[in-house]
Amino acid sequence: MELMSIGKFAKKVSVHPRTLRRMEVDGRLKPYYVSEGGTRYYSTEQLREFNQKSELKRIVVGYCRVSTPSQKDDLETQVENLKTYMYAKGYEFEIIKDVGSGINYKKKGLQQLIDKINNREVSKIVILYKDRLVQFGFELIEYLCEINSVEIEIVDHSEKSKEEELTDDLVQIITVFANRLYGSRSKKTKRLIDEVKSIDNREKD
């Protein structure tokens, strides 16, 4: 019987070693052998069982996002539409809701989703529109899903981004770069942001 270190085992099952240590603490998966120096080793049989259980536990996750708290009603509508779709498909699922810009990658819900992808807890991610996941960098999330055998299912492939959401995202991008170039208190930064907002207001009029 072959034994492998915690690092090698973690790589084979596509989880972080910290995850295995948490699983050891809560009794879900104990190392096959622990050396006197504290090095943890896992067996090939544990690897096979882990992969089998992981496949059985994988679920579908519906991800819903809006940009601001004022869009709470839009978020609930999005959730209900996604639920209706997934019930019709016969999926066993859970919903992750997020509030924040499509260019903010530190949103609580998005980070929770990425953790589930990395831990191979997800078989499929369902989103109403492509930009509900992220506004930019979709291909990176798509690659992360691909290497973890996670499918992304988009209900509607049409472009549905609201102009105000795109403007908010653009303002955030400009703010970040302007702050780096001129400083957060610079008049140039404020003037640049005000100009973007004024252009958007003129187009709406």
For residue 40, the tally of other CB atoms under 10 A from its CB is 20
d(CA 176, CA 163) in angstroms, rounded, equals: 20
d(CA 30, CA 168) in angstroms, rounded, equals: 48
The answer to whether residue 158 is catalytic is: no
Beta bridge partner(s), residue 64: 97
Q: Where are the beta strands (DSSP E) in the chain?
A: 3-5, 33-34, 40-43, 59-66, 93-99, 122-127, 151-154
Contact predicate 33/2, CB 8 Å:
no
Of the residues 14, 35, 54, 67, which is catalytic?
67
Amino acid, res. 136? F
d(CA 23, CA 139) in angstroms, rounded, equals: 31
d(CA 177, CA 159) in angstroms, rounded, equals: 27
Catalytic amino acids?
67
